[in-house]
Amino acid sequence: MNNASVENFDLSNTGCGKSALIKAIAGIWTHKDGTVSTWKPLQPPDAIFIPQTPYLSSGTIVDQVIYPLRSTQVTINREQVLTAITAANLSHLLDRFDTEEYLSLPQWNELSPGEKQRIYFARLFYHRPILAVLDEATSSTDEDTEIQMYQKCIDLTITLLSVGHRSSLKKFHKKIISINRGGGWSLKYLD
């Protein structure tokens, strides 16, 4: 990626290696050949990777939102956390309890896949990274929620590198990179 201000969207076929490629770009997977050059390391707080299937650790919803930080390491801006939770359409989780401190579910897997994906977006909204690498990060949400999450990223000036299959995502990106199973690719600029 030569220019961090350029958003890219991949609308390639399944099974062509999109997820492997962006995991290599994000530094999550090591690659056998080639190099990944970035203007700075792609790690929090400057870059956050959101996978299709979120991993949630134990702890409160505040712990989930501020991850990889820990409340024992930093002073938490509670208002900023609550704003991020609200922006991710997760206020209903707070409504189940008296305060966000008590939302420590014994099994985060009790949440729907869409709620888990929105917790990752709350994390994005809290940290406000320069770059978000999104691997089908809204595949379990409805289209309206997907649009809200992406629009909030744009509003926060978060650069997006996305893999997705819904054409509704095109309006949030400036380029489409298509990859085929043979390793070829094409680049198309959007209006």
Give mean pLDDT in consecutive 10-residue pieces for the chain, a chain of 191 residues: 42 60 67 68 76 82 85 83 95 66 60 93 95 90 94 93 81 80 78 74
Domain range annotation of the chain: 8-189
Residue type at 81? V
At residue 94, the pLDDT reads 80
Give the per-residue pLDDT at 117: 95
Burial of 43 per CB tally in 10 Å (0-12, 13-18, 19+): middle
CB 21 within 8 A of CB 162: no
Q: Which CATH number fits domain 8-189: 3.90.550.10, 3.40.50.300, 3.40.50.970, 3.10.20.30?
A: 3.40.50.300
Place of tokens 């996305």: 162
